[in-house]
Structure 1
Amino acid sequence: MAILFIVMGSAGCGSKAEVVKDQAITSITLVCADLCKELSDPPFNQKVITEVEELKTFKHAIDKAKIMQGDLDYGVVFLMSISYSDHTQQEFVLNVDNEDGRTALLVDRADSGQGYEIPPEPTSALRKMIYARSQ
């Protein structure tokens, strides 16, 4: 499955992103969205992540994200909700394909026109956690 997103404007990625809050993450919920539901074998309908090492993997991947330049046009694979120790939440779109070598797209739903690219290595770690059942 190819993740659909087009960046209009200048090519390339910008500087490191400050995407998530500076609070401890207590859980991450992933919900299979439109493009995920079109898969022949979606990995799950909803997945709640609370295991500390898995939360660290997600945090590391998000911390490595780079700001993308230009306007976005994208479909949605997963809706992601991050819950913090201060009882607040942040909502994202997370597009992670089940193909090695691809990067992931992260979009804060509060600013849906700004995308962040997660590099291949942390994307690979996310891919393994998300699609583990089907690999």
Structure 2
Amino acid sequence: MPFTEKVFEDQESIRLFVEALNHAAQMEGVLDYGAIFLMTLEMKDGSSKQYHLNIEDTDSQRGLLVHLPDTEHGYTISEKTSEKLRKLIYESE
């Protein structure tokens, strides 16, 4: 792992994560995967949602998003959005 914990609070980063959530396409079947990142979204009202987010530090990939606790069903993230997330996660300071 490139880090233990990373917090994104700027509007541009948040918009990118929201884009990934809103445009992810549901996958068919039951998943069998290993999680790379545990992502927690904290809302203004104090509630939170957790996801497994699989984005590797490689080009030309489609990311995986799994809304917890339902680890059997997943959503794919487009290559374009996955590349933006990869850069944000792995290349930002």
**TM-score, length-scaled by structure 1:** 0.66
Count of residue pairs the alignment pairs up = 93
Q: Cα offset for 1:111?
A: 1.1
Give matches, 1:17-96, under 5 Å. 42-96=1-55
**Structure 2 CA distance for aligned equivalents of residues 57 and 102 of structure 1:** 16
- Max radius of gyration: which structure? 1
Q: Cα offset for 1:133?
A: 5.0
State the match for 1:38 in structure 2: none
Structure 2 unaligned blocks of 5 or more: none
**Structure 2 CA distance for aligned equivalents of residues 61 and 80 of structure 1:** 12
Q: Contact 1:43/1:133 (CA < 8 Å) preserved in 2?
A: no
Higher strand share: 1
State the match for 2:91 in structure 1: 132
Structure 1 unaligned blocks of 5 or more: 1-41
String of CA shifts for 1:45-101, please: whole Å, max 9, x gaps: 100110111100111122110000001000010000001112100011000011111
**TM-score, length-scaled by structure 2:** 0.94
Q: Cα offset for 1:110?
A: 2.0
Tell me the SS of whatever aligns to 1:71: coil
**Structure 2 CA distance for aligned equivalents of residues 133 and 53 of structure 1:** 13
